A and B are shown apart, each in its own frame.
Chain A
Amino acid sequence: MAATVANKNRETHSTISRYPRFRTPPVDIYEDDDGFLLQADMPGVKKEDLSVTVENGTLSLTGRRAFDSCGTICFEEFGPLGYRRSFSLPQSIDTAKVTAKLQAGVLHLSLPKSETVKSRVIEISHG
């Protein structure tokens, strides 16, 4: 019993196992007639450490935040972290026009719908 407590104790003190290595960032998705807007919380990630890719209809967000521990730890609740999340994109999105912006630790993605899927009235001819 005592040994278990000691082991557990060591585990909680080691920096490696104390924090999750990856986090699934919380995401908001909003839609209007012209496209989608995606917002993901990724605090600490710099522009160069973030990749947004669209491949085979899958949008992947991958980010990593570096961690500089400066000085002696008085109290610590977070550590280095990777962010991972992916979504299947609807066919309607024009992947060439996707834009991304990183602001205050939040990734803002704009996913416009392609012209071909915007509603259009088709005339029916008499045969």
Chain B
Amino acid sequence: MFARVHDFDRMFGALDLIRHPAGGFLPGGIVANRSGEPESPLTNIYDKGDSFEVKVEVAGLDKSDLAISLQGDVLQIQGKLVCGPPEGFEVQRQERKNLNFSRQYRLPADVNLDGVQATLAEGFLVVNLPKAEAARVKEITIN
């Protein structure tokens, strides 16, 4: 019985590995901190041709609660949020959690460090990273 459970476990483990097929960007492409911890914020990464767009779900976080850094092709996003009642209020229900996360993403190609821009709107952090000249698609005309 347990051997069978183990078999299932292995099967799904294998499926996890092939879940993100695009561009060879497997979950293994993430450098650290993806051990299924719920405080790791959900992220989408898109290739927009000339740039990458990283979109992170960070509800309730303010500009001052976030720190973004980029080293080579590794983008790191850190955030902190303390939830609690305002002065004079008592807690009836507390489901939102305090956040303290640090997540790193390895980008699929080199980016131009100077052109990186980040915006925060409606609970989403959007980081726009223009690709380095060498990583851009270049059309070649045939003579």
Chain A residues proximal to chain B, CB less than 8 Å: 5, 8-9, 12-13, 26-32, 36-37, 39, 41-46, 69-78, 104-106
Shortest CB-to-CB span from A123 to chain B, Å, is: 30
Asked if B90 contacts A32 (CB within 8 A), the reply is: yes
Kindly state whether residue B45 has any CB partner on chain A within 8 Å. yes
Within B51-72, which residues are at the interface with A (CB < 8 Å)? 52-53, 57-62
Q: Which residues of A contact B122 (CB under 8 A)?
A: 43-46, 104-105
Contacts of B19 in A (CB 8 A): 12-13
In the bound complex, CA of A105 to CA of B48 (Å): 25
Distance of A39 Cα from B86 Cα, bound (Å): 11
Q: Check B23–A74 contact: CB distance below 8 A.
A: yes
Known: A13-B21, A28-B95. A72 touches B89 (CB 8 A): no
Instruction: List the B residue with the shortest CB-CB distance to A67.
Output: B44
Q: Output the least CB separation between B98 and chain A (Å).
A: 11
Chain B residues, Cβ within 8 Å of A44: 57, 122-124
Which residues of chain A are within 8 angstroms of B43 by Cβ–Cβ distance? 75, 77-78
- B11 on the interface (CB 8 Å rule)? yes
A78 to B108, CA, bound (A): 19
Most buried by B among A9, A13, A37, A75: A75
Are the C-beta atoms of B44 and A77 separated by less than 8 Å?
Answer: yes
Q: How far is the CB of A38 from chain B (nearest CB, A)?
A: 9
- Contact A41–B59 (Cβ < 8 Å): yes
